[in-house]
Amino acid sequence: MYIISSYPIAVLFCVITMLCWGSWANTQKLSSKKWPFQLFYWDYSLGILLITLLLAFTLGSTGQEGRSFITDLRQAEWKHLSDALIGGVIFNFANLLLVIAIDIAGMAIAFPIGIGIALVLGVITNYLDHPEGDAVMLFSGVLLIAVAIIIDAVVYKNLPKKGSQTTWKGILISLLAGIAMGFFYKFVAQSMSSDFVTPETGKLTPYTALVIFSIGLLLSNLVFNTLNMYKPLTGTPVEYKDYLVLGSPKLHLIGLLGGAIWGIGMSFSIIASEQAGPAIAYGLGQGATMVAAFWGVFIWKEFKELPTSKNWLITLMFICFILGLGLIIYSKVA
């Protein structure tokens, strides 16, 4: 299977993760006017599973190092399979809340708050399990990103108050999503061998863990997204028949694309985690907050009503994000 052999390449993979995780939600925005997000989310979940299967049978089944996907799957112990499966369930619960928050409050608010909190919790939990890098540098970077989250909340406070009650609902859901999302990566990391070249017996290679994670995500959708379809926190209820009646091939492809983009990001993060360490790989990937904020601010114009005198807050938010990410990267080589 393909294995990363150096830290600089691992950082590159993590940057790609950041771009993917910060950009997939644009597909939801593109389809939201014609396609309820509950129905979009089925295609999104399927897209994640399809891309992880594709990578498992290609990158995960070539080369002389590690174990090929099928071989690895056959020898895997249930304990480690269940860890990856639980990771998928936790992520799905958190991500569905995030999708709801985006639908209510927009990308520029929901992403920095939800994913920013997930970054802080995720780095802490993964570092406690697998200490990698200089702790002072790593957590200083996390602190700067936490400051950026606070600034984002201040920016929201300075927006006109029209519809503020609804948006505060979106912020609350973003907070819950971030807390839940801070723990999913830990379970996926626990399911894998720490040595990808000669993996431990019973544990999973990254490609197998990704497929099992995706299965957990899709299966849990039968509970989480079904509830959201019939008893939605926002929007109108939809039924399963609407998936076939309302959906066009274009809308289904947009959802599959969104899942594939996120799935590539997740896969690259997991593949990079051996060289970078789970805490750093996860922390860099969740720099997606900055990417999503960029889309929300400059492309979707979600802060266009912000008073001109407060624009410096947006600049300061991005500066804190960039400096924080830089410290996280440097913590490995310090």
User: Which pLDDT tens digits describe the chain residue by residue (334 residues)?
Assistant: 999 989 999 999 999 998 998 898 889 888 877 788 899 999 999 999 999 999 999 999 998 899 999 999 999 999 999 999 999 999 999 989 988 887 787 766 777 788 778 878 888 888 888 888 899 998 998 899 888 878 877 777 777 754 455 567 888 898 999 999 889 999 999 999 989 999 999 999 999 999 999 999 999 999 999 999 999 987 789 999 999 898 899 999 999 999 999 999 999 999 999 998 888 888 888 777 778 777 877 777 777 888 888 889 989 988 998 898 889 888 987 5
Q: What is the pTM of this model?
A: 0.85
d(CA 283, CA 278): 8
Angle CA 193–199–201, to nearest 5: 90
Smallest Cα–Cα separation from 94: which of 176, 19, 8?
176
Give the up-direction half-sphere exposure of residue 177: CA atoms within 13 A in the CB hemisphere. Answer: 24
Whole-number CA gyration radius for the chain:
19
User: pLDDT tens digits for 101-139?
Assistant: 877 877 667 777 887 788 788 888 888 888 888 999 989
**Cα–Cα distance, 109 to 195 (Å, whole number):** 38
Tokens 């249930």: give the residue.
78
Side chain identity at residue 280, one-letter code: I
Place of tokens 């929300």: 296
Contact 325, 290 (CB under 8 A): yes
Q: Which of 154, 98, 95, 146 is closest to 120 using CA atoms?
A: 146
Q: Which residue reads 């079904």 in tokens?
A: 226
Amino acid identity of residue 130, one-letter, is: H
**Nearest-angstrom CA–CA distance, 215 and 209:** 10
Nearest-5° angle of CA 286, CA 291, CA 293? 105
Q: Which amino acid is at 97?
A: L
Q: Which pLDDT score is estimated for 99?
A: 80
- Angle formed by the axes of helices 164-181 and 107-129, nearest 10°: 20
H runs (alpha helix) in 277-310 = 278-285, 288-294
Rounded Cα gap, residues 15 and 5, in angstroms: 16
Contact 40, 31 (CB under 8 A): yes
What pLDDT, in 10s, does the model give residues 320-333?
Answer: 988 988 898 889 87
- Tell me which DSSP letter residue 299 carries: I
pLDDT of residue 305: 81
- pLDDT tens digits, 166-211: 567 888 898 999 999 889 999 999 999 989 999 999 999 999 999 9
Distance CA 41, CA 247 (A): 12
> Which residue from 230, 271, 187 is spatially nearest to 13, judged by alpha carbons?
271
Alpha-carbon torsion 15, 16, 17, 20, what sign? positive
258 neighbors 47 (Cβ within 8 angstroms): yes
Quick one: pLDDT at residue 301?
78
Tokens 């490609």 belong to which residue? 207
Q: Tell me if residue 163 falls in helix, strand or coil.
A: coil
Of 258, 222, 211, 266, whose CA–CA distance to 37 is shortest?
A: 258
Sequence spans of domains, the chain: 7-131+161-300
